[in-house]
Amino acid sequence: MRVLIVPASRFGGTAEIGRAMAATLRAEGLDVDVSQPDQMFNLSPYGAHIIGSSVYFGEWLDSAVTFVEEHAAEIRSKPTWLFSSGPFGPGTPDEPIRGDVVERLTSLTGAVDHHLFGGRLELDRLPSRERFMAGWVGAQDSDLRDWDEIEQWTKGIAATLT
């Protein structure tokens, strides 16, 4: 089966998660492509989708939401999993992604599951307004991606597909 992974990423952290997922799925015998949402136009070759986004201010990136909205019918017709990559810890909200956002994305895609992974935050890469807000709430540089958790979740998807 051919699987499409679409990780929307501003600074590369979520894209790295997508590439790690692809490596895991390939090791499990699946054919995988990884593409940014604004570069993907034809979903017909794929038998399953994994779509994710980094989370800023409780929301997915606009490019990921637009991708889901534009391709919702085709996405919904195949097994689909969603993931978010967001901040955890001091200075971050208890709910890094708003529940209504997850509910809407799940409804649009018919997703089997949505999983929230820890993200990477590099304050010096943020635009000044966001850096100010992050500093105001006490956020610090961090990389909270749990690679074992990502691998295990992805192996669960592979088991479902194979």
Closest CA to 16 of 151, 159, 162: 151
Which residues span the domain enclosing 104? 2-154
> Would residue 114 count as lying in a domain?
yes
> What is the average per-residue pLDDT within 78-83?
97
Interatomic CA distance for residues 29 and 92, integer angstroms: 38
> What is the average per-residue pLDDT within 39-57?
91
Q: What pTM was computed for the model?
A: 0.85
Instruction: Please tell me what DSSP assigns to residue 123.
Output: G
> Would residue 69 count as lying in a domain?
yes
If one counts every other C-beta atom within 10 angstroms of the C-beta of residue 20, the result is 17
Interatomic CA distance for residues 157 and 138, integer angstroms: 36
User: How much is the mean pLDDT over the chain?
Assistant: 86
Confidence class for position 10, pLDDT limits 50, 70, 90: confident
Which CATH number do you get for residue 123?
A: 3.40.50.360
> Would residue 159 count as lying in a domain?
no
**How far is it between the farthest Cα atoms of the chain?**
47
The predicted structure's pLDDT at residue 58: 81
> Would residue 129 count as lying in a domain?
yes
Q: How many domains does the chain have?
A: 1
Close Cβ partners of 38 (under 8 Å, ≥ 6 residues apart): 63, 66, 67
> Would residue 132 count as lying in a domain?
yes
